[in-house]
């Protein structure tokens, strides 16, 4: 058993933890860390909610006028580089 640091939890394991792709030993270490670290619990809750909301948002189509303006802008930028 090793002691996890907050930075290690957030940077290395959070996404995999929520995806359920970690081994049992790592999950046990993370859950032990969460039992004693309120800042990480708060961060985990916020991160979960953010993933939930962005997952529900879905894809929004760009309006045709905006798509045309963006296309023209990109063409102009690309021709400047030639």
* 1 occurs within a structural domain: no
* Model pLDDT for residues 23-51, shown as the tens digit of each residue: 888 899 889 888 988 988 998 999 999 98
* 19 occurs within a structural domain: yes
Predicted pLDDT at 29: 86
Residues 9, 29: Cα–Cα separation, whole Å: 10
Residues 53, 77: Cα–Cα separation, whole Å: 34
* 58 occurs within a structural domain: yes
* 54 occurs within a structural domain: yes
Residues 19, 21: Cα–Cα separation, whole Å: 6
Q: How many contiguous H segments (helices) and E segments (strands) does the chain have? A: 5, 0
pTM of the model: 0.58
* 37 occurs within a structural domain: yes
What is the domain extent for residue 43? 6-80
| Domains in the chain, number | 1
* 67 occurs within a structural domain: yes
Q: 46 with 53: CB under 8 angstroms? A: no
């Amino acid at each position: 058993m090793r002691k996890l640091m907050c930075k290690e939890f957030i940077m290395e394991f959070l996404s995999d933890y929520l995806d359920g792709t970690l081994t049992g030993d790592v999950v046990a270490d993370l859950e032990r860390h969460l039992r004693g670290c309120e800042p990480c619990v708060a961060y985990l809750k916020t991160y979960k909610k953010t993933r939930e909301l962005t997952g529900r948002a879905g894809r929004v189509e760009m309006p045709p006028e905006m798509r045309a303006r963006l296309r023209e802008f990109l063409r102009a930028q690309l021709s400047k580089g030639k």
